[in-house]
Structure 1
Amino acid sequence: MPQLSLHSPLGPLTLSEEDGKIISLDWGWGRDQTETPLLCKARDWLDQWFDDPALMGAFPFPLEPYGTAYQQKVWAFLQTIPVGTTITYGELAQKAGGSPQSIGQAVGRNPIPILIPCHRVLARNGLGGYSGDGGVNDKVWLLELEGAPLPTQA
């Protein structure tokens, strides 16, 4: 599977591709580096996104994260959350179906963070968690980069 890494403000990130689609974005530098057309475009898009996410909009290249049908449904809803806005796990549960807990589990298993913007989902009474290497600090940094209002931690 082709992989390509990039330097980001959050540290090194690695994109993985399969069958012409992005299947994961992982923290850390990948062992193998393959410059496919898709991975190069995705890397360049991310570089620009980190400069100004409001100008970039939604990720324009094909994504195919591995997951259950329910996870796929939740991840599809995540992709509709505009840059600079947030939604709670409960609000997402009302839209996608399920409970806030099942939404939290699906969000936490998102294999393509940032591109599928799980950082835009908040707990009812604060930030909630984040699975990036920097944890909640990465979530706060991403939300601040996007200009999203931060909740007060309860």
Structure 2
Amino acid sequence: MFNAVIDAPFGKVGIRTSADAVREIVYLPASTASAAPDCALAERAAAQIARYFDCATAGFDLPLAALGTPFQRRVWDGINTIGAGTVLTYGQLAQRIGGVPRAVGQACGSNLFPLVIPCHRVVSASGIGGFAHHGGDGFFRDVKRWLLAHEGVRIP
């Protein structure tokens, strides 16, 4: 159950909240039914996500639930240093935070707060890479391509 499901240029975005934090943001297919925000925090998150879709450099100021392992949070903190329109490879991010590329990729795929923690800005050394634990072409890789193109980055 989502606290809001909003339209996105590539489909929908589902938002889950608790009383005081965003708990999860999920990319959903366009066939998913929309749902108006049912609380103030879901409304705030929906508004900030919609603002990002209008302007790729828009930032986020949302309370995020303290989820993930310590390593995942370290990777997610590293991702937050990558500006809009910029990408790093999994290896480059691993060097920055002190990890290995495969583990960084797994932490990226486990990101519960995409857009707010812009894991789409982390790519493979040989191309776009996977997305949300989905390899190969399809919905999730199309979402990643759209997000990167929205920020002015073109990767085959």
TM bracket (short chain): 0.7 to 0.9
SS in 2 for 1:12: strand
**1:39 pairs with 2:30:** no
Which residue identity is paired with 2:24?
S
Instruction: Flag structure 2 segments of 5+ consecutive residues without an equivalent.
Output: none
For the residues of structure 1 that align with 2:120 and 2:87, how far apart are their CA atoms? 8
Q: Does structure 1 conserve the Cα–Cα contact (< 8 Å) formed by 2:2 and 2:14?
A: no
For the residues of structure 2 that align with 1:96 and 1:19, how far apart are their CA atoms? 32
In the superposition, the TM-score normalised over structure 2's length comes to 0.85
Which residue identity is paired with 2:14?
T
Distance change in 2, residues 1:19/1:69 (3 Å):
farther
In the superposition, the TM-score normalised over structure 1's length comes to 0.86
- CA drift at 1:65: 5.2
For the residues of structure 1 that align with 2:155 and 2:11, how far apart are their CA atoms? 25
Q: Size of the alignment, in residue pairs?
A: 149
Instruction: Flag structure 1 segments of 5+ consecutive residues without an equivalent.
Output: none
For the residues of structure 2 that align with 1:145 and 1:59, how far apart are their CA atoms? 16
For the residues of structure 2 that align with 1:2 and 1:136, how far apart are their CA atoms? 23
* 1:80-107, Cα deviation, whole Å (9 max, x unpaired): 2111110110110011111000000100
1:2-13 equivalent positions in 2, closer than 5 A: 3-13=3-13
- CA drift at 1:34: 5.0
Which residue of 134, 146, 151 corresponds with 2:139?
134
1:109-120 equivalent positions in 2, closer than 5 A: 109-120=110-121
Q: Does structure 1 conserve the Cα–Cα contact (< 8 Å) formed by 2:80 and 2:117?
A: yes
Between stretches 102-111 and 1-10, larger displacement belongs to 1-10
Counterpart of 1:71 in structure 2 is 72
- CA drift at 1:19: 3.6
